[in-house]
Amino acid sequence: MSSGIAGQLGEFLHARRARLRPEEVGLQSFPQRRRVSGLRREELAQLAGVSVSYYTRLEQGQSVNASDAILDALAAALRLDEHERAHLRELATQRPRPQRAPAPERLSPLTRDLLRSFETAPAMVLGRRTDVLAWNTLGHALLAGHIDAGAPDRPADRPNLARLLFLDPHTRDLYVDWQRKARAVVGNLRLVAGRHPEDARLASLIGELSMKSPTFATLWSDHRVTPCEADEYELRHPLVGTLTVTQHILIVARSPEQSVAVVTTASGSRSENALTLLAQRTVQAGPEALSCTDAGTGCAAAVGTTQESGERL
């Protein structure tokens, strides 16, 4: 993670500039003369209508006082989408503040009541750093059955979705297209980091993942920003086989830094049947039977099933 807001702004501009090719923006390209990937600084400055020296200072972190007009011009020249435009404005308008370690996030009783209302759908409450603040029984069984079901209730032991995705082999194996899920989580973390550059806990998480996961470090350096909203994923579950789900992210109005992740399946589909079977087995065995160190054959044995029976759905 960058050491400061100006540094984050410069890194973001550089990464987006490197993504564009001259021919994409109507400039003539001479490949044999180019020493950098993407647009040169002077080319982007020309497109945005600013001086090369000013843009250079901006990218080098020597200035964070860009006007709205300049930010709009840069966004247009870089062909940023609406989320990238908002991220650029946040980076350019914030002022440096000392990093601090905020208290662990708390779950309000009203949000817990909301979670409890999802009786037939897997669901969990996520904090802004992707800490799992709570999950219902089916959410735990589907997404993290190998972890202690009571862990979210203990702030020091709370699972973290990003940490699980990059450092936990069971969670990695759960997603058939793990790379796409990984990109989505990193893109959302980028947005959160832009909004909360003073969050020391978030900085620590990003630093840990960058050190322990080369893939995370590569995705983080790309500076792509993408909010987690709703997307379809294919899961490879150790108890009920393969199923296709849609993960919806619902913002909690009373706690906008928190969200409820709800999983749904298509009506009448094999995936819906698989989810129903998982719910039945969870009720029969209890959530503690899913908290195994081996999320594969070990957990399958704990609920009296095999992968073969899941494949017959």
Domain count of the chain?
Answer: 2
Q: Among the listed ranges 84-88, 150-154, 172-176, 303-307, which one has the minimum average pLDDT value? A: 303-307
- Best CA proximity match to 208, nearest among 259, 162, 262: 162
Owning domain of residue 50? 5-93
Residues 251 and 118 in one domain: yes
Which of 67, 93, 119 delimits the end of a domain? 93
Answer yes or no: is 98 within a domain.
Answer: no
Q: Pinpoint the alpha helices (H) of the chain.
A: 5-19, 41-48, 52-59, 68-78, 82-93, 109-116, 137-144, 161-167, 169-174, 178-195, 200-212, 214-221, 270-285, 297-302, 307-311
Same domain, residue pair 254 and 173: yes
User: Does 244 fall in a domain?
Assistant: yes
pLDDT in tens, 162-191: 999 999 999 999 999 999 999 999 999 999
Does residue 104 lie within any of the structural domains? no
Q: What is the mean pLDDT of residues 88-107?
A: 75
Location of structure tokens 């792509």: 224
**Tens-place pLDDT, residues 69-90:** 888 888 888 888 888 888 888 8
pTM for the whole thing?
A: 0.74
In this structure, the answer to whether residues 198 and 62 fall within a common structural domain is no
Does position 42 have pLDDT exceeding 50, yes or no?
Answer: yes
Do 262 and 250 meet the contact criterion of CB atoms below 8 Å apart?
yes
CATH of the domain at 88: 1.10.260.40
At 291 the pLDDT is 54
171 lies in the same domain as 25: no
Percent of the chain with pLDDT over 90: 43
Task: Give the Cβ contact number of residue 122 at 10 Å.
Answer: 24
Q: Is residue 101 part of a domain?
A: no
Both 149 and 254 in one domain: the answer is yes
* Residue 100 counted as domain residue: no
**53 and 113 belong to one structural domain:** no
End-to-end CA distance of the chain: 45
Give whichever of 70-79, 92-101, 110-119, 134-143 has the largest mean pLDDT: 134-143
Which pair of tokens denotes residue 178?
Answer: 């793990």
Provide CB contacts within 8 A for 135, sequence distance 6+.
115, 122, 123, 124, 125, 143, 144, 149, 152
pLDDT value for 130 = 95
Q: Of 156, 101, 98, which is closest to residue 131 (Cα–Cα)? A: 156
Compute the distance between CA of residue 112 and CA of residue 251 in angstroms, rounded to an integer. 14
Q: Do 276 and 177 fall within a single domain?
A: yes
Look at residue 309 in the predicted model and tell me its pLDDT: 32
Can you say how many angstroms the Cα of residue 57 is from the centroid of all Cα atoms in its chain?
A: 31
pLDDT, residue 38, reads 81
82 and 45 within one domain:
yes
| Confidence at residue 1, expressed as pLDDT on a 0 to 100 scale | 43
With bands split at pLDDT 50, 70 and 90, how would you rate the model's confidence at 307?
very low
Q: pLDDT at position 30, please?
A: 52
d(CA 239, CA 295): 9
**287 with 194, same domain?**
yes
Last residue of a domain, one of 51, 69, 93: 93
Q: By the 8 A CB rule, do 37 and 16 touch?
A: no
Q: In 3D, which of 150, 225, 233 has the Cα closest to residue 186? A: 225
39: how many CB neighbours lie within 10 A of its CB?
25
Average pLDDT of the residues in 287-302: 44
Q: Are residues 133 and 265 in the same domain?
A: yes
Higher pLDDT, 24 or 145: 145
**130 and 264 together in one domain:** yes
Q: Are residues 182 and 227 in the same domain?
A: yes
DSSP letter for 290, please: G
Residue 272 covered by a domain: yes
Q: Which residues pair with 235 in a beta bridge?
A: 175, 243
- Give the model's pLDDT for residue 119: 84
Mean pLDDT for all residues in the chain: 82
Q: Please determine, for residue 303, whether its predicted confidence score (pLDDT) is greater than 60.
A: no
Q: How confident is the model at residue 124 (pLDDT cuts 50, 70, 90)?
A: very high
Which tens digit of pLDDT belongs to each residue from 257-289? 899 999 999 999 999 999 999 999 887 766 555
The CATH number of whichever domain residue 150 belongs to comes to 3.30.450.180
Look at residues 133, 114, 233, 91 and name the one whose alpha carbon lies nearest to residue 176: 233
